[in-house]
């Protein structure tokens, strides 16, 4: 009976040890997850080209022995190689040198200066265009004012000439009227004088004729 029970006891001990080990690993994993920090943000991946000859030789199998009261378990650790990864990865670009950084900085400064110069040029052109437009507007306004002044002066001179001509004609008409009136008055005076002289002459002749008639009658009476 004792010989038949030893293998059965040994199998139970191995199963019990395996169960205890699994539970221990699960408990340790849970504790690790509970005490570990939250996962960090994924970092930027850098691709590095690694040649096969640069890889280290495979690690020797590590053997870990775990001794329990009833059984000894052995765990062999072997390196895990992900064969899905490409063997020839592109090499990461080398970091820029100080000279390259200086050149990039100078290039950026030159681009900024060129941009500022272009903005200044455009601003100067816009200012010149605005000034030219304002100057043209001022010149046009000045020309319009000069034309208006010249037209006003021409109209004033024309009005002055017209008024002078009207005044001259009025003076001529006045002089002509005065001359006509003077001539008419002279003619009237002459006519009056002629009429007076004629009347006097007629009266004298009439008196002389009457006197002669009277003398003739007197002579007839005396005869």
At 168-196, the pLDDT tens digits run: 999 999 999 999 999 999 999 999 999 99
Rounded to two decimals, the pTM is 0.32
pLDDT at 220: 82
Cα–Cα dist 128/13, whole Å? 101
Question: What is the signed CA dihedral for 210, 215, 217, 220, rounded to 10 degrees?
Answer: -160
Per-residue pLDDT tens digits for 31-74: 777 665 555 555 555 566 555 566 555 544 433 444 444 444 44
Q: Which residues pair with 93 in a beta bridge?
A: none
Q: Which residues contact 58 (CB under 8 A, 6 or more apart)?
A: 79
What would the DSSP string read from start to end of 164-215? Answer: HHHHHHHHHHHHHHHHHHHHHHHHHHHHHHHHHHHHHHHHHHHHHHHHHHHH
- Cα diameter, the chain: 251
SS3 74: strand
């Amino acid at each position: 009976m004792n010989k038949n029970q030893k293998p059965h006891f040994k199998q139970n001990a191995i199963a019990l040890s395996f169960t205890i080990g699994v539970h221990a690993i699960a408990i340790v994993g849970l504790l690790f997850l509970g005490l570990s920090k939250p996962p960090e943000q994924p970092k930027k991946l850098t691709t590095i080209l690694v040649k096969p000859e640069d890889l280290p030789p495979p690690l020797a199998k590590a053997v870990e022995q775990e001794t329990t009261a009833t059984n000894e378990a052995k765990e062999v650790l072997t390196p895990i190689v992900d064969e899905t990864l490409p063997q020839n990865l592109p090499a990461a670009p080398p970091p820029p040198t100080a000279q390259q950084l200086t050149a990039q900085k100078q290039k950026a400064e030159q681009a900024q200066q060129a941009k500022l110069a272009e903005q200044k040029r455009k601003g100067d052109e816009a200012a010149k265009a605005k000034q030219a437009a304002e100057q043209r507007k001022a010149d046009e306004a000045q020309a319009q004012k000069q034309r208006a002044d010249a037209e006003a002066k021409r109209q004033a001179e024309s009005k002055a000439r017209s008024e002078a001509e009207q005044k001259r004609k009025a003076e001529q008409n006045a002089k002509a009227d005065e001359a006509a009136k003077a001539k008419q008055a002279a003619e009237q005076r002459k006519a009056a004088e002629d009429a007076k002289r004629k009347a006097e002459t007629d009266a004298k002749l009439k008196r002389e004729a009457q006197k002669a008639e009277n003398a003739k009658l007197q002579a007839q009476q005396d005869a």
